[in-house]
A and B are shown apart, each in its own frame.
Chain A
């Protein structure tokens, strides 16, 4: 006869609960007559080694007097994404993260066997950040000066003393202060003393004031490690439906003011670590009501972004001051939602600081990207440099139109400066406060020679680039590069000029111009401008018969250029509506400073195909390259995607790689992994890594980048089904080229 013993035991093991009565009397009167009350013994932390906690927060009933947690007893409407609380019968909407649930794909908390379930409240993010900062103390040179400012509702500037009680100066997060006020309050105002500008300031030269807040690593690393370890979340409770108060604007202002008052004109980095958007004080990007979301591109387009202009102005003011002081600002933003990178981007862009965007501080993406800031070169020196000024001189036939990159203008006028500006113009000198061996500026020139002025035979134009900077060893250095190129008469030497065209450099330089424009112009206008330039280029340099598109040909030195422009038009730098404003700012930030090879990867991702038929080969970024018996590796700079074709995936599933006779298949699977690893090991910032296959949900990263030469519209037009069709209405490269040729050969344009 079945007894309840087994039932009771199972329930105790699973839920840590033992009831006096396991079938409950249904009326009050009867219950009192049972003598023993209905009661239970509860062991809330009963050990469940088989129950890993889930890494998300519980879903609560929205009725304020109920707030019960979603559980297996709730009725769920998977289609409408609603659940009915079994305690108060309130119907609740599932949060957006649950959009993918269904009868066959239930979240753990709805499954009966999870009558007891444990959730992790996300403190691990702060812990991960603390550990990363502690680790960074081991990577910094011992005589580097460091300081710490923490912020939430208030802003705390920590005094780093060597003994006893730790102290901090607390500022209200709502009120902005001028540089002088900050310096006064921190006791930094010094008696009039000539600043030694020529050499980097040694710590011993400023023994007072600053040393309370900025100390060398070798002296305070132990104290600071402890201080970091003790940091807690802001103690002010955050009510449900609200965002935590975050006074980023004031915190940054204080950091800038502190460095301004203590070490102007010396290499320094302000590193801002933030886990959410600024919600209080100057520079706030969104209010604290969760139900009002942070601005999207649609909001901005409709002029519905309340805080944007004011916040951007606040950060621009800070960024310009910082650049004037020769310091740079890094932003490390890790959160699932946006953090205000759109408003804060000038801080990194104008000063040459880094921008890192991640989902959480507890990810390899953040941790390794952060570690890579401290990499050293072959001499054992850090790869970062500070306080650079770039001075450009040209021979008199040329003038300087401007520069695009992580710099600010030094407003140096002179005979070399053109009146027509491209990028940051009106100057022949720029300041780059933070740079590394890959930092790259785009510099634009204007030829001012009059049309009928003859060029002396064998004449060459010349440009000199002089970069003063502070090396990481604190040495000041000057790098001088002088180049010359031949002049040529276009009428008689067009072919010669054509042959000397660098289509890769041209593509990146034009792209930078386009993205620069996109910051202030409407998207469609930028695309129209880009298209017009491309058509004109083809008209000038293509070989064709008028009005005959089929006759159109481009020489080898131009053959890739239209493709670059095609992919640039579809890129996240110019197509913003697929991304959040923060994401667009992040992509554009990296695009505006990388060298040519990396910039090209961003414009037109690299695609390599691995097969049994030969060594890995580059293939067209086109849907026809997606084949069942190939493995593809795609590098977009921000993502590395490995995609297994259908047959390869089937073979892998069947386990052929584990059979000794099929060792060649094992090698084939390994080859793209090894190549991906080479890229992952070196790139800054660390890209995302997607390992997917035919039919996988992550395959969309590949499918959205390739040229949709085969869409459901024209699938049967080519006569045979090769390659994977893409379901999109995007114009394909073929259609684009056809239009381009038509327009180029037309005399009407």
Chain B
């Protein structure tokens, strides 16, 4: 699950820097756009400024039902809007992701891809080592670890697009933490994906020929 949050902008480096939306929120926004605020009011033809009847009372605000909204309730997230502080996750944090649970499948995936060029595997291996070092050294934040655990799950279940999406969301939301090694994970996903489709294609071919020759029942498919 990508996280949906809004962080304040960097007011020190940019005056009136707008808030920063997480990757999840930004990709979600691709839905039909409701240009709600587009109406204008004509100036009165007789020239005097409109004086809406309103009083400014020094007392407390009026109590009662909330002022009516002109829109249907919209998409979920965010605590208290752009002006608020950081709300990293919108669902309860379970027990922290375990490093081994993440690294072992990644290394296994790397082993599976050893058939490819040595340079690429060395590069990926180097980055996995960096990931391990940073994780063990406590340099990675909880959301990053959690999402890596999810990524590995998707990878193991062969849901390549989902894994890829998680890698992208990590690069967008946490680039400072992950940029040194994430590209290795990205490459690993791509390699596993192409290996898997190669194997599937080969099996189809061999299954087709086997059928012709009446295969031995109980033919095992490699996972």
- Hey, which bits of chain A sit against chain B, CB under 8 A? 55, 124-125, 131-132, 134-135, 137-139, 142, 162-163, 218, 221-222, 225, 229, 358-360, 362-368, 371-372, 375-378, 553-554, 559-560, 562-563, 597, 601, 604, 606, 608, 610-616, 618-622, 624, 627-630, 633, 635, 639-640, 646-647, 651, 654, 656, 661-665, 667-668, 670-671, 673-682, 686-691, 698, 709-710, 718, 720, 722-723, 733-734, 737-738
Residue numbers in B under 8 Å from A376 (CB-CB): 27, 30
Contact B39 A364 (CB under 8 A): no
Q: Flag the segment in B42-50, B101-109, B134-142 that touches A.
A: B42-50
Contact A614 B68 (CB under 8 A): yes
Which 10 residue pairs across A and B have the least CB separation, nearest first?
A: A673-B81, A363-B14, A667-B66, A689-B18, A364-B9, A628-B56, A364-B20, A359-B14, A688-B16, A360-B13
Residue numbers in B under 8 Å from A667 (CB-CB): 66-67
Instruction: Report how far A238 CA is from B96 CA in the complex, Å.
Output: 48
Contact B14 A606 (CB under 8 A): no
Q: With A368-B18, A664-B64 in contact, do A737 and B56 touch (Cβ < 8 Å)?
A: no
Binary interface encoding of chain B residues 175-212 relative to chain A, with 1 for a CB under 8 A from any of its CBs, else 0? 11001101110110010000000000000000000000
Nearest to A618 among chain B residues (CB) is B39
Contact A680 B82 (CB under 8 A): yes
Nearest to B21 among chain A residues (CB) is A681
Residue numbers in A under 8 Å from B49 (CB-CB): 620, 622, 624, 709-710, 718, 722-723, 734
Q: Flag the segment in B87-95, B145-153, B164-172 that touches A.
A: B164-172
Instruction: Report how far A139 CA is from B26 CA in the complex, Å.
Output: 13
Q: Tell me the minimal C-beta distance from B107 to chain A in angstroms.
A: 17
Report if B217 contacts A (CB, 8 A).
no
Residue numbers in B under 8 Å from A139 (CB-CB): 168, 171-172
Contact B45 A554 (CB under 8 A): yes
Q: With A372-B26, A377-B30 in contact, do A360 and B61 touch (Cβ < 8 Å)?
A: no
Report if B34 contacts A (CB, 8 A).
yes
Report if B223 contacts A (CB, 8 A).
no
Residue numbers in B under 8 Å from A668 (CB-CB): 61, 66-67
Residue numbers in A under 8 Å from B65 (CB-CB): 664
Chain B interface size range: 35 or more
Q: With A138-B171, A662-B60 in contact, do A375 and B26 touch (Cβ < 8 Å)?
A: yes
Among A55, A661, A664, A677, contact of B12 (Cβ-Cβ < 8 Å): A55
> Would you give 7 A-B contacts (Cβ < 8 Å), ordered by A?
A55-B13, A218-B187, A222-B123, A560-B40, A629-B54, A656-B61, A677-B6
Cβ < 8 Å to A, chain B residues 48-87: 48-52, 54-58, 60-70, 74, 78, 80-83
Contact A690 B61 (CB under 8 A): no
Residue numbers in A under 8 Å from B74 (CB-CB): 674, 678
Q: With A676-B82, A687-B18, A718-B48 in contact, do A132 and B183 touch (Cβ < 8 Å)?
A: no
Instruction: Report how far A439 CA is from B138 CA in the complex, Å.
Output: 47
Q: With A222-B187, A681-B29 in contact, do A675 and B36 touch (Cβ < 8 Å)?
A: yes
Residue numbers in B under 8 Å from A682 (CB-CB): 29, 33
Instruction: Report how far A546 CA is from B16 CA in the complex, Å.
Output: 51
Residue numbers in B under 8 Å from A225 (CB-CB): 179-180, 183
Contact B45 A553 (CB under 8 A): yes
Q: With A615-B70, A681-B29, A689-B16 in contact, do A221 and B187 touch (Cβ < 8 Å)?
A: yes
Report if B97 contacts A (CB, 8 A).
no
Contact A131 B57 (CB under 8 A): no
Instruction: Report how far A559 CA is from B124 CA in the complex, Å.
Output: 65
Q: Tell me the minimal C-beta distance from A400 to chain B in angstroms.
A: 30
Report if B215 contacts A (CB, 8 A).
no
Contact B17 A688 (CB under 8 A): yes
Contact A365 B182 (CB under 8 A): no
Instruction: Report how far A553 CA is from B190 CA in the complex, Å.
Output: 68
Contact A678 B78 (CB under 8 A): no
Contact A365 B14 (CB under 8 A): yes
Q: With A131-B176, A365-B9 in contact, do A720 and B67 touch (Cβ < 8 Å)?
A: no
Instruction: Report how far A708 CA is from B4 CA in the complex, Å.
Output: 41
Residue numbers in A under 8 Å from B120 (CB-CB): 222
Nearest to A120 among chain B residues (CB) is B12
Contact B26 A371 (CB under 8 A): yes
Among A218, A646, A718, contact of B56 (Cβ-Cβ < 8 Å): A646
Report if B38 contacts A (CB, 8 A).
yes
Contact A371 B172 (CB under 8 A): yes
Nearest to A692 among chain B residues (CB) is B16
Q: Tell me the minimal C-beta distance from A471 to chain B in angstroms.
A: 17
Contact B10 A364 (CB under 8 A): yes
Q: Tell me the minimal C-beta distance from B111 to chain A in angstroms.
A: 18
Contact B26 A222 (CB under 8 A): no
Residue numbers in A under 8 Å from B64 (CB-CB): 612, 664
Q: With A362-B13, A680-B19 in contact, do A737 and B47 touch (Cβ < 8 Å)?
A: yes
Instruction: Report how far A125 CA is from B45 CA in the complex, Å.
Output: 52
Q: With A222-B184, A647-B56 in contact, do A364 and B19 touch (Cβ < 8 Å)?
A: yes
Q: Tell me the minimal C-beta distance from A28 to chain B in angstroms.
A: 47
Q: Tell me the minimal C-beta distance from B85 to chain A in angstroms.
A: 13
Instruction: Report how far A14 CA is from B51 CA in the complex, Å.
Output: 59
Extra pairs beyond A624-B50, A662-B63 (11, CB < 8 Å): A138-B171, A142-B190, A360-B10, A563-B43, A620-B43, A624-B49, A651-B60, A662-B61, A664-B64, A674-B81, A680-B18
Contact B183 A229 (CB under 8 A): no
Contact A365 B17 (CB under 8 A): yes
Residue numbers in B under 8 Å from A688 (CB-CB): 14-18
Contact B83 A673 (CB under 8 A): yes
Instruction: Report how far A337 CA is from B6 CA in the complex, Å.
Output: 29
Contact A221 B40 (CB under 8 A): no
Contact B62 A612 (CB under 8 A): yes
Contact B16 A698 (CB under 8 A): yes
Contact A367 B20 (CB under 8 A): yes
Q: With A218-B190, A363-B17, A686-B18 in contact, do A610 and B78 touch (Cβ < 8 Å)?
A: no
Contact A738 B47 (CB under 8 A): yes
Q: Tell me the minimal C-beta distance from A344 to chain B in angstroms.
A: 21
Report if B157 contacts A (CB, 8 A).
no
Instruction: Report how far A628 CA is from B15 CA in the complex, Å.
Output: 26
Instruction: Report how far A134 CA is from B184 CA in the complex, Å.
Output: 12
Contact B175 A131 (CB under 8 A): yes
Contact A635 B37 (CB under 8 A): yes
Report if B35 contacts A (CB, 8 A).
yes
Report if B41 contacts A (CB, 8 A).
yes
Q: With A222-B123, A627-B56, A673-B81 in contact, do A620 and B190 touch (Cβ < 8 Å)?
A: no
Q: Tell me the minimal C-beta distance from A57 to chain B in angstroms.
A: 13
Nearest to B161 among chain A residues (CB) is A380
Instruction: Report how far A393 CA is from B123 CA in the complex, Å.
Output: 56
Q: Tell me the minimal C-beta distance from B191 to chain A in angstroms.
A: 10
Instruction: Report how far A539 CA is from B214 CA in the complex, Å.
Output: 92
Residue numbers in A under 8 Å from B176 (CB-CB): 131
Report if B119 contacts A (CB, 8 A).
yes
Among B26, B40, B60, B172, contact of A135 (Cβ-Cβ < 8 Å): B172
Q: With A131-B179, A664-B66, A673-B83 in contact, do A679 and B37 touch (Cβ < 8 Å)?
A: yes
Instruction: Report how far A678 CA is from B6 CA in the complex, Å.
Output: 12
Instruction: Report how far A651 CA is from B12 CA in the complex, Å.
Output: 28
Residue numbers in B under 8 Å from A132 (CB-CB): 175
Contact A633 B186 (CB under 8 A): no
Contact B172 A610 (CB under 8 A): no
Residue numbers in A under 8 Å from B27 (CB-CB): 375-376
Instruction: Report how far A661 CA is from B179 CA in the complex, Å.
Output: 48
Q: Tell me the minimal C-beta distance from B74 to chain A in angstroms.
A: 7
Residue numbers in A under 8 Å from B13 (CB-CB): 55, 124-125, 359-360, 362-363
Report if B25 contacts A (CB, 8 A).
yes
Residue numbers in B under 8 Å from A687 (CB-CB): 18
Contact B21 A612 (CB under 8 A): no
Contact A134 B14 (CB under 8 A): no
Nearest to B194 among chain A residues (CB) is A218
Residue numbers in B under 8 Å from A718 (CB-CB): 48-49
Among B36, B55, B81, B182, contact of A670 (Cβ-Cβ < 8 Å): B81
Residue numbers in A under 8 Å from B18 (CB-CB): 364-365, 368, 640, 680, 686-689
Nearest to B78 among chain A residues (CB) is A677
